[in-house]
Amino acid sequence: MTTAGPDELVIRRPDDWHVHLRDGPMLALAADQTARQFARAIVMPNLVPPVTTMAAAGAYRDRILAALPPERDFTPLMTAYLTDTIDPDEVAEGFARGFFTACKLYPAGATTNSDAGVTDVAMIHPVLERMQAIGMPLLVHGEVVSEDVDVFDREAVFIERVLTPLLSDFPNLKVVLEHITTSDAVQFVESSSANLAATITAHHLHMDRNDLFRGGLRPHAYCLPVAKRREHKGALRRAATSGNPKFFLGTDTAPHPKADKEADCGCAGIFSAPVALESYVRVFEEEDALDRFEAFASEFGPAFYGLPLNGSRVLLRRTAMTVPDLITRQDEQVVPFHAGETLGWKFEGVL
Ligand code: NCD
Ligand code: ZN
């Protein structure tokens, strides 16, 4: 980290280890907002139909790159969506040939476009064996979906019922527990082997479950896993700012059209890409840990994935920046995270 002046922060250009860039009319809006700030991003495969083949991943990567303005310097890292019937040969060949960087496990029914997800981890043991053998990371949406489990307990129960046995069956598999929301997850990751890491979103560092009901029902605060109690947020803030390399940046930016959020059955997902670095850096400043921000944002992710660090740098300036109420492009309208708030930092660009 360099401080170019008292109100400037220069860090190695970060990567985002968990994004939803969507497809169709939303893709150009979503991809550009991520590519503005981040050099690389792990692109989630929960399209309809899901990305399960090299051909689908390659075509999707091409659509992402074609949707970006030419000045963007951005590398999408593609993932395969695990289904009960996915072909282990396709996954392994896709990893070897650079089509896939990782595989994503969605428990069936857990979140947006997860209907084709895994019904029972036993179904994917053959593909997990292959991934373990070739060093291909498994990215996990860590929530059970059983009706008997309260929505606020789904992550903790997943750790106990699904993740613990999975890690003992595949001790050498590299696993990222995505978008963690509980102190249970923090403690589990801290006490597990170096093969288990976790991403932490900006919104889970800012919000607790009260924010869903602040003065009324707040659809733009709704995402999965849903925000938990205040003490869980505290545990996440301590983990993110601790300097432990097992915790790194993954926004889970997940745009949905404004009308689909403000509906009688509003979609889960928070669009944080437009203000991602401004949002995270504010947390590090509040926690008096600005000197640890660069490692969380730009070093620990590549180290876990075994990828090189980015060479370029970005400039953040300490200044009042009011977040727009709406991000639009052609007919698409999305409400960003922190809409209407004034943040104390502004992303000034890539140096
Ligand atoms: C994501 C989406 O909309 O694709 N939604 C969310 O609330 N995070 C899916 C996911 O990551 O669970
Ligand atoms: Zn996600």
Q: What are the chain's domains? A: 13-309 (3.20.20.140)
Q: Catalytic: 264?
A: no
Ligand 1 pocket, residue 281 CB under 6 Å: no
Question: Rounded to the nearest whole angstrom, what is the distance from the C-alpha of residue 2 to the centroid of ligand 1?
Answer: 34
Ligand 1 pocket, residue 46 CB under 6 Å: yes
Res 4: pLDDT: 63
Ligand 1 pocket, residue 43 CB under 6 Å: no
Global pTM value: 0.98
Question: Rounded to the nearest whole angstrom, what is the distance from the C-alpha of residue 44 to the centroid of ligand 2?
Answer: 7
Res 247: pLDDT: 99
What's the CA gap between 279 and 203, in Å, rounded? 8
Question: Could you say which ligand is closest to the alpha carbon of residue 114?
Answer: 1
Res 162: pLDDT: 98
Res 6: pLDDT: 80
What letters, b where the CB count within 10 A reaches 16 and e where it falls short, cover 42-75?
bbbbbbeebbbbbebbbebbebbeebbeeeeebb
> Among candidates 275, 286, 297, which has minimal Cα distance to 342?
275
Question: Could you say which ligand is closest to the alpha carbon of residue 225?
Answer: 1
For the CA of 46, the nearest atom of ligand 1: 4
Residue written as token pair 């969506």: 81
Ligand 1 pocket, residue 252 CB under 6 Å: yes
Q: What is the mean pLDDT of each run of 10 residues along the chain (351 residues)?
A: 80 98 98 98 98 98 98 98 98 98 97 95 98 98 96 98 98 98 98 98 98 98 98 99 98 98 98 98 98 98 98 98 98 98 98 96
For the CA of 222, the nearest atom of ligand 1: 7
What's the CA gap between 99 and 93, in Å, rounded? 8
Joined tokens for residue 84 = 């009960």
